[in-house]
Amino acid sequence: MFLLKIVCRVITKLLVVFVAGLCAATFAHAQQTQSQQTALGAPSDQLMDYRNDRFGFRLRYPGSTFKPNEPTSGDGQTFITDDGRAKIVTHAALNAEKLTPQAYRKTLMSEYDGYDLLDYQPQGKTWFVLSGFRGDKIFYEKIMFSCGNKVINVLAVSFPTAEKTKYEPIVEQLEDDFTTGKGAETANLC
């Protein structure tokens, strides 16, 4: 009986420590979430949905920070801050040359300027990211292939290096919410 009481006390103490740790972790997560919401400007900077009807990709963006400016071709959308210092460009195109993601990445890096100062470049089977510095700006580009590599979907963001702490959480949210889909031009390809 004495041993049972000791075991019960030990279990009770462990439960108290576990619950206290759980409460601390919940509080820390709430603080982190609040910080992320503040960085995004939420709730005043509500996330807006953009869906491209032609190619079917989707993006959620902070609507008070970025204002849309749709190109006439219907292949994507440009969003710009009021001061013009930060920009989101998202678009898609048919993969007419039938490039693999790896070949497309190699083509971008060899034929276009501005990829010499990369500091982040993960890649998967159907996507890749190129991120780094161009002058006084940070750029982040995520390219996703969809419909069996028949469509190339692009998310490109640039912002001042001096405002990295403001825009990094926004880029993370944009990247998380950027998805491919079927559009009017791709429905029969997917």
Q: Is 112 helix (H, G, I), strand (E, B) or coil?
A: coil
Question: pLDDT value at position 57?
Answer: 97
Can you give the pLDDT at residue 31?
39
**pLDDT at res. 187:** 86
pLDDT of residue 113: 87
Tokens representing 63? 């609507």
> What string of pLDDT tens digits covers the 190 residues of the chain?
444 444 344 344 443 333 344 334 434 443 343 333 334 444 457 999 999 999 999 999 999 999 998 666 889 999 999 999 999 999 999 999 999 999 999 999 998 988 888 999 999 999 999 999 999 999 999 999 999 999 999 999 999 999 999 999 999 999 999 999 999 988 888 8
What are the residue boundaries of the structural domains of the chain, listed by start?
Answer: 1-40, 47-177
pTM: 0.75
Distances (CA, A) of 9 to 3, 6, 19, 48: 10, 5, 15, 53
For domain 47-177, which CATH number applies: 3.40.1000.10, 3.20.20.10, 3.40.50.2020, 3.90.1200.10? Answer: 3.40.1000.10
The Cα 124–Cα 59 span in angstroms is: 20
Q: In the prediction, which pLDDT does 65 show?
A: 96
Half-sphere exposure of 65 (CA within 13 A, CB side): 25
pLDDT at 45: 72
